[in-house]
Amino acid sequence: MALTPGLKAEDEETTLVGRDLELALISEHLRGTGDGRAVLLRGAAGIGKTRLMSAELGAGARVLTVKCQESGGAAYEAVRGLFAPLGLTDGDPASHPLLAGSATLAHSATLALPADGAPDGQPADMYGVMHGRYWLTASLAAERPLILAVDDLQWCDEASLRWFGFLLRRAEGLPVALLLTLRSEVEHARPDMLDEMADVASCLTVDVEPLTDDPVHDMLAEALASTPGPSLVERCMELTGGTPFLVRFVVHELRESAPVAGLSAAALGDGLGHGAVARFHLDRLTPERLAMAKALAVLESDDIEAAALAGPAAGPAAGAVDALRAAGLLRPTPSPTATTSCARPSSTPHPPRNVSRCASAPPACSTTPGAPATRSPSS
C-alpha cells in the first residue's frame, strides 16, 4: 500500500462553508479528547471529508496522520505509516529521544513497529504486536493528547484495520482521538470490520452530505469575488450535485473562460464545466465500469447485452449501467431505439444529470454515539 504521511485537503485555501452542523457535532463528541473517542466521516469522493477531518486536528495535541492509497500493501502498513514520522524504528528504539529512559515504551515500540521484513503478521506474534501497538499509543498519549487521523479507510490493509478496532475497544480513559474518513461509494473489502468499528459506542458516525444552495452560493461568491445570481447557483448545483470538489472544478473553468462581470447560468452552457465534472467521475470508475462506459459511448445506447461484450456479464453490466446513471454519465437521447446514450470519455461530455436531492428536509441530526449523523439542509 502506498501511504502518504500527513493530510492535505484539496480546498484548504478556501473557507469551509456549509459545515457548521458537522463541525459542532464532531467538536462536541471529541471535547477534551480524554476518553478514547472516534469519529467516522462517511461520504462520496469530493464531498469534503478530508477537509472536515483537517479542521479537527487541534493545537496542543500530538497529531499522527496517514492517507491510504488504493494499491495493496503489507500487514500493518497503515499503522507503520502513522508512526513513521516519529522515527521510532531508526536504530535502537531505547536511544530515541521520545523513548529515552523508558524501557517499557522502548519494548512496546520494538513490538509495535518491527523492522521491515519481520513476520509481524504471523499468528504466533500477532497478539504481542497488537498489544505493543496499544501500549505505544497509550504511552505517547500519556505525554499529551494524541490524535490518529486515517484518510481513505476503505483502502486500509486488513491488519491495520483490525488494530484500529482493537484500539478503539480499549481506549476508554485514554486521551486519544481516532479520526477516520471512508468513501461510501467504494466497495469495501471487509465491511464487517468497518461495521464493528462504527458500532462501538465511543465512535460517532457522520454521513457527510452534499452542500445545499446557500453554501454553494457562498463558495461561488468567495471564489469569483462577485455575487452569483440565482440562475448561476442553480446551474452549478445541476452540474455538481453540491459536491464541493466539483464546485471548485466549475469555478476554475469559469475563471478561465468567462469574464467575471458577465457571469450567469449561460456561462455554464456549451459544455463549460461539463468535461471537468465528467472526468472526475470517469477517473473514479472501476476498470469494469470504465469498459462499460466506453462500450456505451461507441454504441450510443444502453443495450446492456451488447455492451456486456466489452467485459462484464449481463448481471454485472446492469449494475455498471446503474452506477453510470447515478454518476450522471448517461444522458437521455431522442433516438426512438435507445433510451440513453453515454458521454464519450475522449470528448467533452454532455452535462451530467442533476444528482438526486430530496426536496423535503431529511431527519434531523442524530448525536447518538455509534449512530449516523445526518445533515438537515440549510434554510
pLDDT band of residue 334 (cuts 50, 70, 90) is very low
- Per residue in 276-317, pLDDT (tens digit) is 676 776 666 667 777 777 777 666 665 655 555 555 555 566
CB 65 within 8 A of CB 5: yes
β-strand partners of 66: 5, 150
- Whether 43 shows a pLDDT value over 90: the answer reads yes
Q: Which whole number is the average pLDDT over 339-367?
A: 35
Q: Which fold has domain 3-207?
A: Rossmann fold (3.40.50)
pLDDT digits (tens, 9 = 90+) for 71-86: 766 888 899 899 888 8
Q: How far apart are CA 87 and CA 221, in angstroms?
A: 44
Q: Give yes or no for a contact between 350 and 303, defined as CB atoms under 8 angstroms apart.
A: no
For the segment 142-191, what is each residue's pLDDT rounded down to a tens digit?
889 999 999 999 999 998 999 999 999 999 889 999 999 999 887 777 88
| Residue 4 contacts residue 67 (beta carbons within 8 Å) | yes
Count CB atoms within 10 A of the CB of residue 114: 18
Model-level pTM?
0.73
Distance of alpha carbon 61 from the chain centroid = 23
Listed range (27-31, 254-258, 364-368) with the worst mean pLDDT: 364-368
**Cell numbers that stand for 72 in this block:** 495493496
Mean pLDDT in residue range 40-50: 94
pLDDT of res. 349: 36
101: helix, strand or coil: coil
- The predicted pLDDT at position 34 comes to 62
